Amino acid sequence: MRKYRSLLMGLGMGLVLGASMLQFILFAQEQSGKLTDETLTQEQLSKEAQKSGYVIVPANEVTYTQKQLETKIDEAVATALANQSTIKDEAVKEESKPAEQNKEGSELPAANTSDLEASEAVTLYVRHMMTLTEVAKELVKLGVIDDTDGFINKARPISKKMNIGTAVFTGKPTYEQIMTELTRKKEY
């Protein structure tokens, strides 16, 4: 028996380790089966996130960091002040015109407001792994482009080069301007 002592010890240890590994595997399968059977509703998920100090945000919502929000507010205030000063200047010019020219001048502010709407900034958040087709559909929704197929054909070379972040478009940009904005390095 002494001759086979190391062989028998190895065989015994192998059996013990094999049995314990099998028990671990069976236990893990039971636990993973329990996890997949339970599905959380949106409310349960948000409650669990709040307990941990997190907030769940839908993927289609645009979220900003504090720094981005402050820059957007500063830009909006600057454009509002610029618009107010131009409107006041136009009002002063209209008051100085004779009554006949004032009738014709009343059409000008309506044209200026449509120009202001056309130059209004529109933002699009480009998510991770967002396809060119998804970007084109979002741009159509925002009114930046009219033809998704034309844009996709033109922008196909940049489809893998789009950077994650918020792209800002003003007015009706050309396809080249849209492509440069989508490939521009952005802050998160």
- What pLDDT score was predicted for residue 92? 58
For β-strands 121-126 and 165-170, DSSP reports them as antiparallel
**Both tokens assigned to 153:** 């054909």
- What pLDDT score was predicted for residue 31? 79
Domains of the chain (ranges; CATH) run: 63-119 (no CATH), 120-188 (3.30.1490.480)
Q: In DSSP terms, which residues pair with 123 in a beta bridge?
A: 168
CB distance 164 to 145 below 8 Å: no
Q: pLDDT tens track of the chain, all 188 residues?
A: 688 899 999 999 999 999 999 999 999 888 776 665 567 788 888 888 888 888 888 778 888 888 888 888 888 888 888 777 677 666 656 665 554 444 444 444 444 444 434 568 888 888 888 899 999 999 999 889 999 999 999 999 998 888 888 888 888 899 999 999 999 887 75
CB distance 65 to 188 below 8 Å: yes
- What pLDDT score was predicted for residue 89? 64
Q: Is the dihedral of CA 20, 24, 29, 34 positive or negative?
A: positive
